[in-house]
Amino acid sequence: MRHRIGLLLVALAAFVSVLGVMMRVWVYPRVVAVPDNQYQVVVLQAKDATLIDYATLTSVPHQTVTIVQTLKGDAAAAQAEKKRTGRSVVVWDTLSYILGGDGKRLSAIPEVYTFDPRTQDPVHCCGESIDGDAVSRIGVEYKFPFNTQPHDYQYFDEQTRTSAPIHYKGTEKVGGLTVYYFEQTIPWTQVPFPKTMPANVAITPAQIAALGYQRWYTTVRKFWVDPVTGAPVNGEEIHNEQLRFPASAHHAPVTVFQGDVKIRPDYQAATLALVKNEQTLVLMLSTYLPWGLPLLGVGLLALAFVVEGRDRRRRADGNSGSQGPASVAEADEDRGPRDVPSAQGAPPAPL
């Protein structure tokens, strides 16, 4: 029976060891992916910011600006693309709209962002665009790849519609997580006006452009990224926009928006909790099971050796025990009658 248990343990050890290897080399690359129906809202704020008053073309300081970013996965578009081409894709419909201190909308910029759900590489399909204009992205945006590495990446800037390096700056701790810190600086660049202007502005972007006005922009973009999931757990932008006039106007640039944009604390806490949960699930497939199952296999194999060793010792002891009585009997036969004490030499029986 113990011999059978030992064989069973050896078979089980082989099974869990192979299963651990398969988790890393086969299951992990196929299962770990961005879902095509994800929905998320993040609220950012810039306190003590400066905003333009288009009615007077002057800058107004000391304002609180709120930026709401919504992200919604278009599962139907993703499935249609997979059916058409056979490739997996995620289609994110995103919207960033800016609210002034009075709660009124200042601008809104929609995006269609398409990418590979496993590698984060851009996929050019499904109406990829920014503010209604077709684009062809290079690099990542919003999210970094799973298993993010400590090196620079190409990051797509939605204002300039171009990609530039975002530099790895080191490792930090955020909410108990070890994260990679990345930073990107976009130099002053002329960018288009948003097609959705403030509601109280009786002028369109086309009319502004016809007057020769230009919108210029620079920013310092900062991300703290969980390397396991590639998801940012925190973000910040030191943002600056200017309205510049034709040289003939002899008018100095006017600040359109200047402020330090940060994730609102409650949304930052919620983002951190979400990333921690996703990190645990990813680590189960990438690290815990691929390493834990082979170690369990080694333990089961060692236990099989112990069981087999005990079984052999038990059988050996049984064989030696069965030979003992036979030897004694043989010895008694050899002694014969002469070895039996005589009646005369026997002690007297008790009265």
Q: Is residue 1 very low, low, confident or very high in pLDDT (cuts 50, 70, 90)? A: low
Q: Is the dihedral of CA 328, 332, 334, 335 positive or negative?
A: positive
State residue 331's pLDDT score: 46
What proportions of the chain, in percent to the nearest 5, are helix, strand and coil? 35, 35, 30
State residue 304's pLDDT score: 73
221, 158 Cβ separation under 8 angstroms: no
State residue 343's pLDDT score: 40
Q: Is residue 350 very low, low, confident or very high in pLDDT (cuts 50, 70, 90)? A: very low
Q: Which of 4-18, 174-188, 207-221, 295-309 has the highest mean pLDDT?
A: 174-188
To the nearest whole percent, how much of the chain has pLDDT over 70?
Answer: 87
Q: Which residue has the higher pLDDT, 350 or 129?
A: 129
Report H helices in the chain.
Answer: 2-22, 28-31, 75-85, 205-210, 265-283, 289-335
Select from 247, 120, 224 the least CA-distant residue to 176: 224
pLDDT tens, position by position, 303-318: 777 776 776 777 777 7
Neighbours of 31 (CB within 10 A): 12
State residue 100's pLDDT score: 86
Average model confidence (pLDDT) across the chain: 85
Rounded Cα–Cα distance for residues 61 and 257 (Å): 9
Select from 254, 261, 264, 190 the least CA-distant residue to 220: 261
Select from 149, 150, 159, 124 the least CA-distant residue to 138: 124
pTM: 0.81
226, 145 Cβ separation under 8 angstroms: no
Residue corresponding to tokens 């008694």: 332
pLDDT of 183 > 60? The answer is yes
